[in-house]
Amino acid sequence: MTVRVRFAPSPTGSLHVGNALDAVANRTYADARGGQLVLRLDDTDATRVVAGGEDAVLGDLGWLGVAWDEGPIRQSARGSIYAAAAERMLSSGVATREADGTLRLAASPRPTLLRGDGTATYQLATVVDDLELGITHIIRGSDHRPNEPLHQAIAHALGAELPEVIHHGLILGEDGKKLSKRQGHVSIADLRDEGIPGSAVRAYLDELGLPVHDVHFDLARVRRLAIDAIAAMPDAELAAVAGAPAEAVPALRGARTFVEAREIARQILEPPAVTLDPEARLTLDRFVELRVSLPAMLDPAEGKTVVRELKAVGGNLKSLRLALTGAERGPELSAVVAALSRDEAIRRARAAH
């Protein structure tokens, strides 16, 4: 038997971290068993669909590195399949039609299967799709546990068995409640905008695996993984993300986010003008003397040597940083020295006043 799992988000915009856990968990489960992941968009409720919502979901999955083998399959295009299933249930007497056209399961608590306008509800559509698409394992959050008896009843009404269901713990917010996009910093779009690498979020979700119990979202852990991910990026890739030349990459390695990496790159490429104390001139002149006798470009070790020599003679390193970057804080000063060409470093040192 080929394992077939599915990820079935509603196209309501960027995924939140809990939805993303579902996607990663299903992809990992399939990969570990040589199986397939079906991407299905649960869009039967038109009132919940938002413009651009589908593109946001697909973009988030790509950012997380979650590929799918089949789909995206849109429930909105499968109305005839749901209607046919409902008619079979009606014919066999396990469903009844109300005066307003609503179709309900005859068994208690008589849930709605088709709305009065003929569209399928989530309860019917999800079961029919899981059966029709050959899904073997349903992996989803424990908040769906109450649906399992009903979904099994619908499957039985269709003369079938529900696939094996695996419920995992939820990711909770700081308040101990289920994550909501209203809480901030919990949607994939939020994390991407903050400059967190997709590989860091994926690593965090991989660490969670299939949690047996609910877990609190650990944003601090995500941010630590972001530092590791940026540090491990190839030079050319990091330079491209930050919009910086390759020579600046050593200065970018300590960045905690891509946003910070781009800010460091801006400091190196386009520093604002600064006004320094007259005493800073001694340090800057000494820096020029050191730098003029060295190669046009320095490697990181040579940059450290320059800073070390300035420090040995009591140089004001804060003033040098301000002259070179226009900022009081930033990456290792030696990395900045190495990132700038000899001519540019000397020009900035002389221009500062």
167-187 pLDDT, tens digit per residue, is 999 999 888 887 765 666 689
Average per-residue pLDDT in the chain?
94
- Asked whether residue 334 is domain-assigned, the answer is yes
| 211 occurs within a structural domain | no
Q: What is the pTM of this model?
A: 0.89
Check residues 176 and 43 and name the one with the higher pLDDT.
Answer: 43
Check whether residue 151 and residue 79 sit in a common domain. Answer: yes
Same-domain check for residues 194 and 256:
no
Please indicate, yes or no, if residue 234 is contained in any of the structural domains.
no
* d(C-alpha 30, C-alpha 193), whole Å: 30
Least confident of 67-81, 181-195, 259-273: 181-195
Is the same domain home to 264 and 165? no
Give helix 342-351 / helix 317-325 axis angle, nearest 10°. Answer: 110
The domain tally of the chain equals 2
Kindly state whether residues 12 and 126 are assigned to the same domain: yes
10 Å Cβ neighbour count for 264?
25
- Whether residue 297 lies inside any domain: the answer is yes
Q: Which two tokens stand for residue 317?
A: 């390193």
What number of CA atoms fall less than 13 Å from residue 82's CA on the CB side?
26
Provide CB contacts within 8 A for 327, sequence distance 6+: 267, 271, 321
Tens-digit pLDDT profile for residues 218-230:
999 999 999 999 9
pLDDT at 120 > cutoff 80: yes
> In Å, how far are 32, 137, 151 from 37, measured between CA atoms?
12, 10, 21
Are 293 and 151 contained in the same domain? Answer: no
Which residues does residue 313 pair with via DSSP β-bridges, in sequence order?
none
* Angle, helices 79-91/122-132, rounded to nearest 10 degrees: 100
26-30, 45-49, 77-81, 297-301: least confidently modelled range = 45-49
Residues 73 and 131 in one domain: yes
Residue 239 falls inside a structural domain: no
Question: Are residue 121 and residue 250 in the same domain, yes or no?
Answer: no
Which CATH number fits the domain that encloses residue 329? Answer: 1.10.10
Tell me, yes or no, whether 221 lies in a domain.
no
Residues 72 and 147 in one domain: yes
- Judged against a pLDDT cut of 70, whether residue 69 lies above it is answered with yes
Same domain, 331 and 183: no
Judge whether 124 lies within some domain.
yes
Distance, in Å, from the CA atom of 148 to the CA atom of 226, rounded to the nearest integer, reads 37
- Which domain-ending residue is among 181, 204, 227? 204
Residue 52 CB neighbour total at 10 angstroms: 11
Verify that 144 and 276 share a domain, yes or no: no
- Residue 182 has what pLDDT? 62
Same domain, 120 and 182: yes
Return contacts of 97-106, CB within 8 angstroms, 24+ apart: 105/153, 105/154, 105/157
Are residues 254 and 196 located together in one domain of the fold? no
Lowest mean pLDDT: which of 11-20, 85-94, 268-277?
268-277
Residue 77 maps to which CATH number?
Answer: 3.40.50.620
Q: Which domain holds residue 299?
A: 246-351
- 204, 237, 262: which is the final residue of a domain? 204
The residue among 150, 170, 204 that closes a domain is: 204
Say what the pLDDT of residue 293 is: 93
For residue 190, is it within any domain? yes
